[in-house]
Amino acid sequence: MKKLTILFFILIALVNYSQTRKVFFLSPSDTYIISSDLHIHTVFSDGEVWPSIRIKEARRDSLDLISMTEHLEYLSYKKDVIITDRNRSYNISKAILTEDEPLMIVNGSEITKPMPPGHFNAIFVKDVNPLLNPDGEKSMIEANKQGAFVFWNHPNWVENRDDGIARLDEIHERLLEKKLFHGIEVVNEHTYSEEALDLALKNNLTIMGTSDIHGLIDWTFDKEKKQHRPVTFILSKNRTIKSIRDALFNQKTFVWHRDMLIGKEENISPVVSENLKISSLGYYKKIVTIKIQNESVVPFKLRYLGDYTFHSNSSILEIPSRGELLVTIKTKEILSSIEMSFEVLNVITAPKKYLVITKNINL
């Protein structure tokens, strides 16, 4: 009877968890938007919590995919936490997950070398232990042999770049030529690097954003101030690990950082278009009222680019997350339809370049 009672409460907790999961965006057709954080630490390297806490945090944040990426070379608690198997934090985490819950975890590690080349995460590895090597390039070769997706961590980190500028050294160019890494963090914890975004676009690297969390998520990103961890959204054909891995290798990502979305136009434009809906509420005299709805978790900051003028607003509009804004437009005559173009000022597709979307609206 006692076991049945415990099982009952576990099932209730899982039902409540599934019902409270956040939907970040409406998905374009035939696309699964996978929310991920692929740079996470626990006490099995230099993090401050046990792996079970990372699972609970990821569940609360409605993530679909995480990876415990412990440093290979840097173990802060080796006198207290005896580590004989570098897969241990992954194995502990994997055992906590239930078979039917939405959260998934993949094995990973952080190859931690001085700059250059710096730190690289390898995820989808089968066994972390063979990656431990004094030669960072050999570690990356082993990771690639295991089919890992490898990305360059915090290339703008001031401990490695005192000017905060991400750039390629000769060794990075060699690693790129050998195709030993495939992505780059443009966002790490609280920082965003335009230079890293430029490197991603020029070198066909997957755009990544991660928390690189060591302490508690809620202490690092203050939810009372509406802060959140950086999230990499992966545009996958389905929810299988294979499809998600393929999408990462095919650069099908965008990043949510603060109130910004960052990614290639081809990836981010369909998502914004799907979540920003504009409809007509009809004319009064020669002034038409339109409703702009935002179905996403991100507020959209729009600059109107067209020739019409608004009756009550300036050309700069903010559409709140999960909210709407009514705008009155002076069209001079009664029309059956209009075309409206907006620059989305918090959706970045390249350094100092913002997404432009165009909507045709039946009036």
Domain that holds residue 135: 16-258
242, 293: one domain:
no
62, 202: one domain:
yes
138, 54: one domain:
yes
CA distance 261 to 116: 29
130, 244: one domain:
yes
341, 287: one domain:
yes
123, 172: one domain:
yes
Q: Name the pTM for this structure.
A: 0.93
Q: What is the pLDDT of residues 308-354, one digit of tens each?
A: 999 999 999 999 999 999 999 999 999 999 999 999 999 999 999 99
How distant is the alpha carbon of residue 170 from its chain centre? 29
Choose the final residue of a domain: 193, 226, 258: 258
155, 302: one domain:
no
Nearest to 59, CA basis, from 32, 21, 31: 21
Q: Is 154 exposed, middle or buried (0-12, 13-18, 19+ CB in 10 A)?
A: buried
Query: Which pLDDT band holds residue 173 (cuts at 50, 70, 90)?
Result: very high
Separation in Å, CA 147 to CA 112, 141, 176, 249, 344: 19, 10, 16, 11, 37
Cis ω for the linkage preceding 351 (within 30 of 0): no
59, 205: one domain:
yes
Choose the final residue of a domain: 258, 281, 312: 258
Choose the final residue of a domain: 224, 258, 292: 258
Q: What is the pLDDT of residues 4-53, one digit of tens each?
A: 544 454 444 444 544 578 899 999 999 999 999 999 999 999 999 999 99
CATH code: domain of residue 337: 2.60.40.3090
Q: How many domains does the chain have?
A: 2
239, 134: one domain:
yes
Q: What is the pLDDT of residues 66-107, one digit of tens each?
A: 999 999 998 888 888 888 899 999 999 999 999 899 999 999
Residue 51 falls within a domain, yes or no? yes
Residue 197 falls within a domain, yes or no? yes
CATH code: domain of residue 235: 3.20.20.140
119, 158: one domain:
yes
159, 108: one domain:
yes
241, 282: one domain:
no
